Amino acid sequence: MIKPTVLILCTGNSCRSHLAEGFLRAIGGDFLDVQSAGSKPAGYVHPLAIQVMKEVNIDILHHRSKPLTEFLDIKIDTVITVCGNADQVCPVFPGQMRRYHWPFRDPAHATGTIDEQLIIFRQVRDEIRRVFEAYAFGRRDGTSD
């Protein structure tokens, strides 16, 4: 059975999209092919994103920041944008059936001490977790498109 591909997009593909990809893979990786990309990839996954996901036992250390152009020739079932900029520049992918826009604030813009930045990263992580867990369970149950 071929798993439908869900592509999570944001601008930099360094924080939000990787948090979402991590949660969606952890919950739905057995029935979804979960990927992420950016319209202007930063070229790295933010170290604090890696750290806060490790706190919830999800390893995104080996994720990489990649451009959405890597996915233009792949059948994408669902595109989920997690920031306004990505939503505005998101192309329509061949075979795409669904598109959602669930914006989250960008923790990469957090300022202050590392501890203060971690507070923001954890808040965004937990917001993303709630949304993507609900989506995954809905897809699994067949109650969500």
Structure tokens that stand for 41 in this block = 């990839």
Whether 90 sits among the annotated catalytic residues: the reply is yes
The CA distance from 18 to 137, in Å, is: 19
Measured CA distances, 124 to 88, 89, 107, 145 (Å) = 21, 23, 7, 24
Q: Which of 6, 8, 9, 10 is catalytic?
A: 10
Q: 16: which residues sit within 8 A by CB, 6+ positions away? A: 10, 82, 83, 104, 106, 107, 124, 128
Whether 83 sits among the annotated catalytic residues: the reply is yes
Whether 15 sits among the annotated catalytic residues: the reply is no
Structure tokens that stand for 61 in this block = 């250390």
Q: Which of 8, 45, 82, 83 is catalytic?
A: 83
Annotated active-site positions, please? 10, 83, 90
